[in-house]
Amino acid sequence: MKKLLILIILITIFIAPSYSTTFTGEVTKVGEQESNRVIDANTKQGIDYAKISIPQKKFRTYTDANGNFKLPQILVKEPIIVNIEKEGYRPFSLTINNGQSLNNPMKIEIAQSEPFDIALDTEILHLGDNKFSKNSANASDFKLQSHGPSYSKNFIVTQNAKKSTNYLVIGSILGLDTKLAHQMGQNKIKSGAYSSPAEVYFNGQKIGELRINGDGQRIKIPNSLIKSDTKNQITIRAGQNLMANHIDYDDFEMMNLSILSE
């Protein structure tokens, strides 16, 4: 086995003024080897019959008995999401950016889910108004119908959640056209136009903003906002193009929303 490539995605989460700024790191391991493989993060054993999909390309396959799988030979012109699903494991997805190749075999480690994990949505979601520049961070992949500028999900948390630290985790985000995304080279808009960040609310209180594209972004949920044994609500609102003279929501996609308790 060749050396492991450790990809450290350090995400800066911008928290509303009433809460202190939090810096959260998420480590994703993707190693190089001869074949694509999905393994258990703990036992390092191959995982059979895990579902591998690329929703934007309508591609789907499954791992074999040893956890190996093949990907199609796609020229990656725009960022795409590779999604890995297996019952009993936390949802995991990986953004492949333009310029990267699907030909280099990947080793993907997924972790078993914990009793208090809550999977909010495992589908790919498109927020915005379906009007976007062809130079947007992933314009050619926007074939999904928009959910509109806002997404909400209700869920129940148990009393135990307040004894832990809770996070909203977004598996992958594509297409945000914020100033920071632009500065990081995540889109090709030359006009200088950019959008305000997407905003994240928990039970009506703003808890964070989404400014960059990428995988495994986490936003801490203040325990003071959590209501035990009753309905809680996460809402994500698309940002707006700050240069437009009419309302133009920032079109973006996200996948694998979950609440993790640690």
Q: Which residues bind Ca ion (CB under 5 A)?
A: 128-129, 131-132, 248-249, 251
Nearest approach, Cβ of residue 253 and Ca ion (Å): 12
- Tell me the C-alpha distance between 80 and 61, whole Å: 16
Shortest distance (Å) from residue 193 CB to Ca ion: 11
Return the number of the residue (68 or 133) whose C-beta is nearest Ca ion. Answer: 133
**Identity of the residue, 131 or 231, whose beta carbon is nearer to Ca ion in the bound complex:** 131
> Is the separation of the CB atoms in 38 and 46 below 8 Å?
yes
CB-based contact 9:29 (threshold 8 Å): no
Q: Which is nearer to Ca ion, 1 or 247 (CB)?
A: 247
Report the Cα–Cα distance between both ends of the chain, in Å, rounded.
Answer: 32
Whole-number minimum distance, CB 127 to Ca ion, in Å?
10
Between 69 and 132, whose beta carbon lies closer to Ca ion?
132
What are the phi and psi torsion angles at 74 (to 5°)?
-100, 130
How far is residue 83's CA from residue 107's CA, in Å, rounded to a whole number?
13
The least CB distance from residue 257 to Ca ion, in Å, is 21
- Where b means 16+ CB within 10 Å and e means fewer, 115-131 reads ebbbebbeebbbbbeee
